[in-house]
Amino acid sequence: MSLTTDDVRKVAHLARLGLDETELDGYARELSSILDVVDHLGQADTADIAPMSHPLDLGARLREDKPDAAIDREAFQRVAPDVAEGVYRVPKVIE
Amino acid sequence: MNWETVIGLEVHIQLATASKIFSNAPTAYGAEPNAQASAVDIALPGVLPVINREVIAMATRFGLAIEADITRASVFARKHYFYPDLPKGYQISQYDLPIVAGGHLDIDTPAGGARRIGITRAHLEEDAGKSLHEAFDRETGIDLNRAGTPLIECVSEPEIKTAAEAAAYARKLHSLVTYLGICDGNMAEGSFRIDANVSVRPAGSAEFGTRTETKNVNSFRFLEKAIDYEIERQIDVLEAGGHIIQETRLFDPDSGETRAMRSKEEAHDYRYFPDPDLLPVVIDEAFIETQRSHLPELPDAKAERFGREYGLNDADAIALTQSRALADYFEATVAAAGDDTAALGKPAANWINSELAGVLNREALTIEQAPLSAAQLGGLIARIADDTISGKIAKQVFDALVAGEGESADAIIEAQGLKQITDTGAIEALVDEAITNNPDQVAQYLDGKTKIVGFLVGQVMKASQGKANPKDVNQRLVAKLDAMK
Amino acid sequence: MMHDRSIAELIAAVRAGETTPAALADHFLARIERLDPQLNALITATPERARAAAAIAPQTGSLAGLPILHKDIFCTKEVKTSCGSRMLDNFVAPYDATVVERLHGAGTVTLGKTNMDEFAMGSSNENSYYGPVKNPWNLDHVPGGSSGGSAAAVAAGLAPAATGTDTGGSIRQPAALCGVTGIKPTYGRVSRYGMIAFASSLDQGGCFARSAEDCAHVLGAMAGFDPRDSTSVERDVPDYVGGLSGDVAGLRIGLPREYFADGLEAESRAAIDAAIAQYEALGATIVWIDMPHTDLAVSTYYVIAPAEASSNLARYDGVRYGHRCDNPQDLDDLYTRSRAEGFGAEVQRRIMVGAYVLSAGYYDAYYVKAQKTRRLIAQDFQSAFESVDLIAAPVTQAPAFKLGEKADDPVSMYLNDVYTLPASLAGVPGMSVPAGFAHGLPVGLQLIAPWFEEARLLNAAHAYQQVTDWHTARPAGFE
């Protein structure tokens, strides 16, 4: 599978990675060679094989409905880049 | 051209759990910004989700109530998109294996009669935080208190035909979830949010038209308005030779119009995949049966029983079962009024549907905020039933209870001396007085205009300050007048 | 010397009052100060905190006073937790990972945080924002990765033990390349809470120490059910130390043919063969087995791990913590610049591969297909363990390569993980045990046990270490 620079641009946008135009060729080459390795999967016969999303074949353990979280807003927000009045801030979003 | 409308509703129902769906942070509304956002809710590096059992229980009860299939192993998936109020960059939601599949809701159509609306699915997901666009000049603020609040997203089949039907469906769903006790139903606080998918097509066409999605309509009235506006707008566009753009629109209650959202609409690629942090939710028969045994009586069954047990007509029964709180109030009122439920149901229904409804409407109160309790109203009805007071006095006592002038009907009757006069001598005297003082009316009666007796009853009632029993007065007057013939 | 003593000896010395937690901490802190500049094994040393903790450390507790290093992927309260990334260079965690909490509870004293490949993505430690770690056996060579800092630190005697994480070999491979003992337990055995996620269905915490016996001490304190991790398993943790009988007579050890095929370098092969012969001498039965889907492991892993990573790393958006670009013009600018500046090239490559294999039109062909081949690989282990008790194999095809040798070719680096990926995909526990040298660099023997049979694994490694002394060797300059 070979990716074009346009494919790279699209996937970079999906992942919100701001790539320089000059980087696109290099990434297209590298990602294509990774996908070449991955394409090996196509040869495997997986008829009647159920997908395995998890190494353990277990059901979820459920939690009791107790609101007992320790919430230290001050500590959580000490590492935040822009906070005012307890609110995280980002550049203005227009809906 | 004749146009036909196709409507499907997606309703986000906030579940009334104490803690969030994947974290043990509280869900209470109205805290300081981010004060209820735990490490999991703000998606600190390294944190993990753990599923709240109550959320699964509530969704199961919901599925049973709409007669849906409960998925025995439902799966949480990650839905990816970037938005600042979505801390992980993905929302944990259910995708190809939702917990509730199928089901239906019977609505009372505005035209009369019931109609069954199919439900495609109902899945569990976490709510996002809130973006505060007005809080700062050049920034948008992010409050993550709501992030992680459990939601059921209930998706109807595109089987709804009019705005009025859509509102009826939404009301019925609202009534159901509040009955089940799984949602507080508070629309102003966003506990029950409706998105309407609307499209139009030439009547008889088999294909769907292009639809728009109108988001976050927060009242039933607005829902009707928004849909009607959208139908008209789409028809106008099509008749002018234009095309409908598939887009998300917002309803503006001030103008009564919908408008396209300004944020860039892009083709979403959500990249769903099963959340590797969470294992499938496996539900066994025992769990389902436990939840079934916790189901309360639902609105339709309750209305039917009210008709049977309390002798109510359909209109009264349906009105009183609109909400569980109202139905509970009614039953508590009857219970407080006495043992003869068949006889006391109708007066209780009348008092609630007229006098009390009037007060609530005037004061913009909900039944939970009623200024008099069911016990107080029942106490009042008991005194009417045993002839302690007349209907007219009863209204006065009711007003006094609403105004908080006394603890109970009995206390007010006692304090204000409103008890009916039972002293026959005193009533006889008043009757005689009325006959003596109104010779013209007496003459008319004797001439055969017997309806005039009502005037004379009124005179006696006035003289008794309303405390005589009008039926009793009437009997005595008729007896005396007939004797004069 | 203190750093040559076993964990059991160190704890006993503390308990007996022959030494103190403070003296132990001082000894290893001094070694870190003196030796780490050559290695770059630590991102953050915390001498003040360590001395303060040692001063009040209890003399009881299963690991009372034991100095330890944590891979910088484990959140440590009030201490920088970078995950080897510029993205988290300014991140001071407001909470402790469960592993950190447990080890602290057992009495360990944290000396610092070890270097690693950024977000655990890498096999050479060259993908760290903080620069590569050097292999103490030869400073021109890589220590392996992603837990290269922990492996190098234990090899150099900077600490008796260190934590690590293994997603596709990130404990076993650096343990092999640095000549120390490392164990990756069964998926679900050690809590992932507070361990910064790379690929959630594969990540598993474990540890490095000099010997299997030392690992048994540390793992016993780390492992166990954690209600904060939904994938943590409710199962009692056996007494790993008590289970070290050293007896492997009658144990059936399987050698998968696929792990001994072309590509395994000759001197390394000789070391592995010698180790297997040793087991035979100890009374184990050696049989050849087939694990026919082994060749699917690399392609399966490089779909699943990047897919999960692209999702797990979506939270680094410059809003609540972590790197934010200067003067973002709008929301999109905030996201795209913060992420492009905060993540290194390998992380960006994997995020893009992951986003691609999950995207519309490719999901079934890549992601779902890989989930199916993953099951085939897991089934290989299931059937293997019907006939053998343990699997033995090499960890890597060759000893540590030179720094920079593969830096320009990510794919050749990926292919190098072929022996460690299958156990990760299946979720079974695996170890690397020092088994000699090739070209003057350490070789590791990989042992793999059935799900939750860490005790069997540790005992088998212990038996071998009773009759060999590879694990006690020290690199020159770090004696």
What pLDDT digit, counting tens, does each position of B168-187 carry? 999 999 999 999 999 999 99
What B410-413 contacts at long range (C-beta under 8 Å, 24+ apart), as own/partner pairs, is B410/B379, B410/B383, B413/B383, B413/B388, B413/B389
Q: How far apart are CA C409 and CA C299, in angstroms?
A: 16
**Do the Cβ atoms of A54 and C426 come within 8 Å?**
no
pLDDT the model gives residue C158:
98
Would you say residue A18 lies in a domain?
yes
Of C194, C363, C367, the CB nearest to B46: C194
Is A18 close to C91, i.e. CB distance below 8 A?
A: no
Total domains, chain A: 1
Torsion angles phi and psi, residue B20, rounded to 5: -75, 175
- Label residue B466 by pLDDT band (50, 70, 90): confident
Contacts of A24 (CB under 8 A, 6+ apart): A5, A8, A9
**Better-scored residue on pLDDT, C425 or B473:** C425
Task: Mark yes or no for CB contact A69/B19 under 8 Å.
Answer: yes
Structure tokens at B10: 């997606």
**Bond into C412 cis (ω within 30):** no
**Helical H segments across B83-211, by residue range:** 163-179
Cβ-based neighbours of C412, under 8 Å, separated by 6 or more: C406
Token couple for C325 = 């670009």
Neighboring chain C residues of A30 at a CB cutoff of 8 Å: 349, 410
* C296: chain A residues, CB-CB within 8 Å: 40-41, 44
- pLDDT-derived band at B232 (thresholds 50, 70, 90) equals very high
CA distance A88 to chain B (A): 5
Interface check for C308 against chain B (CB to CB < 8 A): the answer is: yes
Residues B199 and B332 in one domain: no
- Interface touch A87/B44, C-beta < 8 Å: no
- pLDDT higher than 80, residue B289: yes
Helix (H) or strand (E) holding B223: helix B220-239
Please tell me if residue A6 touches chain C, with a CB cutoff of 8 Å.
Answer: no
Alpha-carbon distances of C265 from A21, C394, C423, rounded to whole Å? 41, 10, 21
Smallest Cβ–Cβ distance between A88 and the set C231, C319, C339 belongs to C319
Q: Which of A20, A23, A79 to mutate to test binding with chain C, by most C CBs within 10 Å of its CB?
A: A79
**A64: nearest CB among B53, B133, B281:** B53
pLDDT in the model for residue B389: 85
What is the structure's pLDDT at B421? 75
Structure tokens at B104: 């239906």
Neighbours of chain A (3+ CB pairs under 8 A): B, C
pLDDT < 70 positions in chain C: none
Q: Do C88 and B45 touch (CB under 8 A)?
A: yes
Please give, rounded to a whole number of angstroms, the shortest distance from the CA of C148 to a CA of chain B.
Answer: 20
Query: Is residue A56 in a domain?
Result: no
Q: Count structural domains, chain B.
A: 3
What are the pLDDT digits (tens) for A7-42? Answer: 999 999 999 999 999 999 999 999 999 999 999 999
More confident residue, C9 or B268: C9
Q: Is A52 on the interface with C (CB under 8 A)?
A: yes
- What is the arithmetic mean of pLDDT over B63-67? 97
Residues 6 or more apart whose CB falls under 8 angstroms from that of C89 comprise C80, C82, C129, C323
Q: Say which of C303, C322, C339 has its CB closest to residue A41.
A: C303
Which residue segment(s) compose the domain that B451 sits in? 424-484
Residue B264: is its pLDDT beyond 70? no
Q: Is residue B32 part of a domain?
A: yes
Say whether residue A79 is in contact with chain C using an 8 A CB cutoff: yes
The nearest CA of chain C is from the CA of A68 a distance in Å of 13
Check whether B266 has a pLDDT greater than 70.
no
- Do C363 and B273 make contact, defined as CB atoms within 8 angstroms? yes
Residue C350's Cβ-count burial label (10 Å; 0-12, 13-18, 19+) is buried
Q: Is the pLDDT of residue B422 over 80?
A: no
Chains touching chain B, criterion 3+ CB pairs below 8 Å: A, C
Name all chains with 3 or more CB-CB pairs below 8 Å to chain C.
A, B
Residues of C with active-site annotation: 71, 146, 170
* Cβ–Cβ gap B271/C355 under 8 Å: yes
Query: Rounded to a whole number, what is the distance in Å from the CA of C96 to chain B's nearest CA?
Result: 10
Asked if the Cβ–Cβ distance from B140 to A90 is below 8 Å, we say: yes
Cβ proximity of B322 and B303 under 8 Å: no
Q: How far is A69 from chain C (nearest CA, A)?
A: 11
Rounded to a whole number of angstroms, the distance from the CA of B411 to the nearest CA of chain C is: 57
Tell which residue, B70, B46, B53, has the closest CA to residue B19.
B53
Residue B324 has, within 13 A of its CA and on its CB side, a CA count of 17
Q: Using CB atoms, which residue from B35, B38, B282 is nearest to A59?
A: B282
When the pLDDT of each residue in chain B is averaged and rounded to a whole number, the result is 92
Contact between chains at A94 and B143 (C-beta distance less than 8 A): no
Q: Which of B415, B446, B467 is the last residue of a domain?
A: B415
Q: Which CATH superfamily includes the segment(s) C2-253+387-472?
A: Amidase signature (AS) domain (3.90.1300.10)
Q: Flag whether residue A11 sits within 8 Å of chain C, measured between CB atoms.
A: yes
Contact: C94, A72; criterion CB under 8 Å: yes
Considering chain A, what is the average pLDDT of its residues? Answer: 94
List of chain A residues whose C-beta atoms are within 8 Å of the C-beta of residue C369: 41-42, 44, 46
Residue B79 belongs to some domain of the structure: yes
Residues B345 and B410 in one domain: yes
Query: To the nearest whole percent, how much of chain B has pLDDT over 70?
Result: 99
Nearest by CB to residue B139, choosing from A73, A76, A92, is A92
pLDDT value of residue B265: 52
Residue A12 in domain: yes
For residue A86, list chain B residues with Cβ-Cβ distance below 8 A: 32-35, 143
In this prediction, residue B387 carries a pLDDT of 81
Q: How far apart are CA C468 and CA C209, in angstroms?
A: 16
Given CA atoms B368, B370, B371, B374 in this order, what sign does their dihedral have? negative
Who's near A30: CB < 8 A, 6+ residues apart?
C349, C410
**Rounded distance between C-alpha atoms, residue B26 and residue B440, angstroms:** 76
Pick the last residue of a domain from B231, B258, B287.
Answer: B287
Output the CA–CA distances (angstroms, integers) from residue B387 to B382, B471, C36, in the order listed. Answer: 9, 10, 98
Q: Under an 8 A CB cutoff, do A61 and C357 touch?
A: no
Domain membership of residue A62 (yes or no) is no
Instruction: Please tell me whether residues B402 and B461 are part of one structural domain.
Output: no
Q: What are the helix and strand counts (H, E) for chain A?
A: 3, 2
Residue B96 tokens read as 């190809």
- Beta carbons of C456 and C390 less than 8 angstroms apart: yes
Q: Which residue has the higher pLDDT, C155 or B443?
A: C155
Domain that holds residue A23: 5-42
Question: Which residue from B minimizes the CA distance to C318?
Answer: B84
C interface test, pick of B76, B82, B275 with most C CB neighbours within 10 Å: B82
Residue B391: predicted pLDDT: 79
A41 and C366: CB-CB below 8 Å?
A: yes
